[in-house]
Structure 1
Amino acid sequence: MRLRVKWLTTASLVGTVLKYIAAAMVVPLAVSFIYMEDVWVFAVSAAATGLLAFALERLDPDPDMGPAEALLLVVVSWLAVALVGTIPYLLAGYGTPSALAHPVNALFESMSGFTTTGATVMGEISTDRHSHALMLWRQLTQWLGGMGIIVLMVAILPELAVNGAQLMKTEAPGPDLQKLTPRITQTARVLWIVYFGFTALLAVLLYALHLGGFAPNMTAYNAVAHAFSTLPTGGFSPEADSIAAFSAAVQWVIIPFMVVAGTNFALFWHLLDGDVRTLLNDPEFRVYAGAIAILTAILATLLYGGGAPPQELGGTTAGNTENALRQAAFQIGSLLNSTGFATSDFAQWDPAAQTLLLFTMFIGGSAGSTGGGIKVIRWIVVIKALRRELFRTARPSAIKPIRLGGYVIDEDVVRGITAFTLLYMVLFGVATVFFVLDSLRVGYELSTLEAMGASIATLGNIGPGFGSLGPFGSYTEFPFETKLMMVFLMWIGRLEIVPVLAVFTGAFWKR
């Protein structure tokens, strides 16, 4: 049987992708020289990744990529970068009691980073326990994965321009990719320029708070590290207490950037071009902003009324308007678009507040953003489709197309969104049951809420869950089989499920 996919071509291009991952390892290598920690770890990691990339590139010196190879490239590249991303963790943990010394744990941490999930098995998180270079690599993996590794490749590699639109469509979050310029390579560059600009702006603002005396522990290192994980909606932090380790001023500064990260980045390009109307009239952005405002108001009311017990981290919210509003705005802004930062241990909040947060996790960010989850645009279409079915039940002969922003949505798009949402819910349910059964097998106590939180947190690339998996908890104690299932969920969740599953079908490979 002849295959319809030229897998050597894909493998060669995966080598090209890994070449740039090896180049990215120079950043933590430079940091390792500054602090004189783990120099050999990143020198060996960069060399090993570079050699692997060189070997793969030689498999097909003149790659000619078609649609099938483009789809396979996206799917395999994300798995490949996560695999090579384990090398620094394994080398740094070698000969130590660190959890990252185990290959499954290292793969979990790496996949969680590149997919911007933010779940961790690291255990003790601090630059006292792990090197500054390793912690920055952890942050950098999230930044690289946020806007998209393949989008970056399309922006800088001319050989990918022919299939650039399909590559970006496969990788980009959401059902639609807006072409901002006549050439797809220019569109990719625009997206990365906007992404880089917001990252740099946040880093400068955070360090300015430090210089102004408003954030004593927001050093230049911390400012860059947290900018690297805020814009990709990642959630990793070099601090064990996440953003709760910093002042209220830092938290207020980060909130709008989390909202920005969950917004379609194409809208900001229009905004920078002086077109404010496109942003304000965008139906997805209005629903997204409205959902954040409404959910924040509800949660702030619950917290103000005593929905959160007094905590050392986050302080008391009962009767404290500023703190209740800040905690609510931060947690909603963080969990709705899958950032995963926290300023309070919401695993200790009352059931009403936790239920609201669980609901928030299912919404997701906007299409074309770095946010995870189902995405706001899909929920809009699903709700409109349900309304149409009710209307057509009452009037069977009526023809009622689904419109969004004045445009009629193609029926194939409606069916695709409906199928994706259903598949997402099915995977969420199956994963929840699997987590419970596998935990029972090894005698690990896991409540239903914790299992549901772990399922949506990994599939939706959110990170923290509930109970022991709360924002200051860890996934370390899960059995390795469960962790591998979570790695799979993070992988397919970042690539919107369907492309990965399509590669596993016989129809993809057979002529």
Structure 2
Amino acid sequence: MNLPLVARLLGMVAWLIGATMAFSLPWAFPAFGAGQDRFEKDGFLALVASMCVCAIVGWGLRRYGDDKSDDQSLFRKEAMAVVGLSWVLATILGGLPFLLGRVAYRSDEGKPVAMGIADCLFESQSGFSTTGATVLTAIENPDWVPRCLLFWRSSTHFLGGLGIIVLFVAILGHGSAGKAMMRAEMPGPNKEGSQERMQHAAWTFAGIYVALNVLLAVLLKLEGMTWFEATCHSFGTMATGGFSTLDTSLGGFESPLIEYTVILFMLLAGTNFTLIYLACLGKPMSLLRDVEWQTYVGIILLASAVIIVAGMWGRSDFAPEDTLSTGDELELAFRDSLFQVVSIVTTTGFGTSDFDLWSDTSRAILIFLMFVGGCAGSTGGGMKVIRHILFVKIIGREFERAYHPSVVRHIRLGGESITDPDLTRQILTYVGLVAMIFVTSWIALVAIEPAETWRAAQQPEANELIDSAGAVAATLHNIGPAIGIVGPTRNYAYFTAPAKLLFTFLMMLGRLELFAILVLVLPSFWRVR
């Protein structure tokens, strides 16, 4: 392991994080339109101090790397180390503004409680991993959460959605190192390509991502948001993150137009960006004919339809009986169900209604969707639709082999045969590892979390087993809100520090698709080549 080279690259990542904090500084001033009527001294100084720490850490890492070795050869080991450690470093540095700015959330008695170290790490990783889970309450109160730090919180979504390493490759290159880092960073099972194609893919990904962010921010501003709100929600939508500027999330704006606009852009964010690029080049059929995208849209439409039927059957999921006309109730049912399904499938986590009050059938479907995820090559988290497609095909082939053991049949996808024998192993290994991590983390959370947590939540119907499973699934798959104690109207503030650190680790695992983080704990990984 070439540690000096790893340190040198991590130093650049630290500088990149510090530089992006500068964009949050103007929002501390009243004239910049963040909605406050006074200069936010604490938030401003916290950002400046954090930027200084990033600069010092970056300088220290660069100095160590420059002094120890001139070897610039970055192999797969070093690339994976840079990716994994970059997210650890980002979590620590990104949490500094919250800690130094004395950001607070509401206690059980309604009093402000300053964020602890575990809270800051949780909030930072939730932003970078585009999970959108939070410990903060009363975020509309600038005395508790300065607007400039609220903007930084959403900015971590922007960085995480683009991918720190993708941005790193797009701007700085690094030759074959760029290819290795892109392979470790980009989500999805198929990430091969030449060095030039990897570099071009990084630039294309970044360009589409930034363009969609700008377009959505302009539309949301025209639809009634302030520039502050529009920018923050644009970051949260296109990164499939879910951080909002309101405690009630997007539902607080009470605007069907805003909700439909966000639905459209969440769908785009969960789509493979390569297909969006081809569509922009005048090849929309590449999108429409893609098997993964067809399945992705089909899952969304089917789940939404079932939830509408389940909700309308009891006439209680979407609106109290007789409060709306039949036409208005149907539109509300369609909008609420479609929004929540898209929000969860794409792992965005925005909310417009309290789906924790929906029927058991509807909630069961939403829990299932937490294990689906967006398309490969999108900003969405989760297991990815393509893996589910391939997993089902692999299982189908194994069933056939049970009664026809001599049959040799390749898996077909989109009319093409998949002959790579490693792909089956990769899919089965990933699915099995996700299941093992989910079950292990679920048991660990139930074991370490005291019963007082559920009593403190003041939720009579709280169920420790079910709520714990939901919290683990929502963090591992980068969803954010789940059900029960971490439902759409609640958050993760009730959990103890060890549980928050567990969630932080799970969010990082989910964002980097397990291996880039898990290898960091293997002693053999750090041995000299």
Using the size of structure 2 for normalisation, the TM-score is 0.90
The one of 76, 82, 106 aligned to 1:73 = 82
Mapped to 2, the partners of 1:178 and 1:71 lie a distance apart of: 15
* Aligned residue identity for 2:236: S
Report deviation, 1:501: 1.2
Residue aligning to 1:452: 469
For 2:507, the equivalent position in structure 1 comes to 490
1:506, CA displacement in angstroms? 3.1
* Equivalence for 1:237: 244
Matched residue, 2:348: 339
Q: Return the letter of the residue paired with 1:474.
A: N
Structure 2 CA distance for aligned equivalents of residues 244 and 443 of structure 1 = 27
Matched with 2:426 is 416
Q: What's the offset of the Cα at 1:361?
A: 0.8
Q: 2:188 aligns with which of 158, 174, 180?
A: 174
Structure 1 residues 414 and 98 mapped into 2: Cα distance closer, same or farther (>3 Å)? farther
Deviation of 1:75 (Å): 0.3
1:140 equivalenced with 2:159 (yes/no): no
**Counterpart-to-counterpart distance in 2, 1:56 and 1:272:** 41
Moved more, 378-387 or 403-412: 403-412
The answer on whether the counterparts of 2:183 and 2:192 sit within 8 Å (CA) in structure 1 is: no
- Residue 360 of structure 1 is matched in structure 2 by 369
The answer (yes or no) to whether the contact 1:296–1:329 under 8 Å persists in 2 is yes
- For 1:163, give the aligned amino acid: A
User: Is contact 1:340-1:462 (8 Å) kept?
Assistant: yes
More off after superposition, 340-349 vs 295-304: 295-304
The 8 Å contact of residues 89 and 101 in structure 1, kept in 2 or not, is answered as yes
CA contact (8 A) 1:19 1:49 kept: yes
Q: What's the counterpart of residue 504 of structure 1?
A: 521
For residues 28 and 293 of structure 2, the distance between their equivalents in structure 1, rounded to whole angstroms, comes to 41
Alignment of 1:124-273 (within 5 A): 124-128=138-142, 129-158=144-173, 160-177=174-191, 182-210=196-224, 218-246=225-253, 247-273=255-281
Moved more, 73-82 or 422-431: 422-431
Secondary structure of 1:408's counterpart equals strand
1:344 is paired with a residue whose SS is coil
Given that residues 127 and 238 in structure 1 are in contact (C-alpha distance below 8 angstroms), is that contact kept between their aligned partners in structure 2? no
C-alpha displacement of 1:304 = 2.1
1:302-341 maps to which residues of 2 (within 5 A)?
302-306=310-314, 308-309=316-317, 320-341=329-350
- Contact 1:300/1:324 (8 A) holds in 2: yes
Identify which range, 480-489 or 400-409, moves more after superposition. Answer: 400-409
Q: Is the 8 A contact 1:164 1:185 kept in 2?
A: yes
Task: Measure the CA separation in 2 of the matches of 1:323 and 1:348.
Answer: 15
Cα deviations by residue, 1:212-261 (Å, 9 ceiling, x for unpaired): xxxxxx11111111001100000100100001011111101100111111
Please list every run of 5 or more consecutive structure 1 residues that lacks an aligned counterpart in the other structure. Answer: 211-217
Maintained 8 Å contact 2:176/2:195:
no
Q: Is 2:454–2:464's contact at 8 Å kept on the other side of the alignment?
A: no
Q: 1:124: how far off?
A: 2.1
CA–CA separation in structure 1 for the residues paired with 2:437 and 2:449: 18
Q: How many residues align?
A: 497
Summarize the Cα distance change of 1:316–1:456 in structure 2 as closer, same or farther, 3 Å threshold.
Answer: farther
From 2, 14, 18, the counterpart of 1:18: 14
Q: Report sequence identity in percent.
A: 36
Separation in structure 1 between the aligned mates of residue 512 and residue 104 of structure 2, nearest angstrom: 35
What SS does the corresponding residue of 2:223 show, helix, strand or coil?
helix
1:72, distance to aligned residue in structure 2 (A): 0.2
Aligned partner letter, 1:30: P
CA distance in 2: counterparts of 1:180 and 1:291, whole angstroms? 33
Matched, 1:55 2:48: no
Partner of 2:480: 463
The one-letter code sitting in structure 1 at the alignment partner of 2:501 is L
What is the CA-CA distance between 1:316 and the residue it aligns to? 7.1
What is the distance in 2 between the residues matched to 1:220 and 1:307? Answer: 38
Q: Structure 2 stretches of 5 or more lacking a match?
A: 106-110, 456-462
Aligned residue for 1:403, secondary structure, equals: strand
d(CA) in 2 for partners of 1:476, 1:435: 15
Deviation at 1:406, TM superposition (A): 2.8
2:5 aligns to what?
9
Deviation sequence 1:182-223 (CA, Å, 0-9, x none): 44222201100000111111111111112xxxxxxx111111
Partner of 2:306: 298
Asked if 1:275 is matched to 2:283, the reply is: yes
CA distance in 1, matches of 2:231, 2:283: 30
Do 1:206 and 1:223's aligned partners in 2 also have CA atoms closer than 8 Å?
Answer: yes
Matched residue, 1:86: 95
* Residues 286-319 of structure 1: per-residue CA shift (max 9 Å, x gap): 111111111111112222223644669xx97987
- 1:389 equivalent to 2:394? Answer no
Q: Which moved more, 1:27-36 or 1:50-59?
A: 27-36
Return closer, same or farther for 1:188/1:302 CA change in 2, 3 Å cut-off. Answer: same
For the residues of structure 1 that align with 2:189 and 2:518, how far apart are their CA atoms? 16
Q: Any idea what SS the aligned residue of 1:397 has?
A: coil
Q: 1:99, 1:476 within 8 Å by CA — same for their partners in 2?
A: no
Q: For residues 391 and 348 of structure 1, what CA distance do their matches in structure 2 show?
A: 42
> Aligned partners of 1:180 and 1:167: how far apart in 2?
13
Return the TM-score normalized by structure 1: 0.93
| Cα distance in 1, alignment partners of residues 226 and 307 from structure 2 | 31
Which residue number corresponds to residue 215 of structure 1? none
- CA displacement at 1:123 relative to structure 2: 2.4
CA distance in 1, matches of 2:315, 2:470: 19
Correspondence for 2:437: 427
- Please tell me whether the aligned partners of residues 308 and 318 of structure 1 are also in contact (alpha carbons under 8 angstroms): no
Return the offset for 1:441. 6.4
Is the 1:90–1:106 contact (alpha carbons within 8 Å) kept by the matching residues of 2? Answer: yes
**Cα distance change, pair 308–429 in 1 and its aligned pair in 2 (3 A):** farther
Q: In structure 1, what is the Cα distance between the partners aligned to 2:204 and 2:104?
A: 44
Q: Please provide the CA RMSD for this pair.
A: 2.1
Amino acid at match of 1:190: T
Structure 1 residues 418 and 6, CA gap change in structure 2 (3 angstroms):
same
Residue aligned with 2:494, SS: coil
**Structure 1: which amino acid aligns with 2:487?**
G
Task: State which drifts further: 126-135 or 16-25.
Answer: 126-135
Moved more, 40-49 or 192-201: 40-49
- Give, in angstroms, the shift of residue 178 of structure 1: 6.5
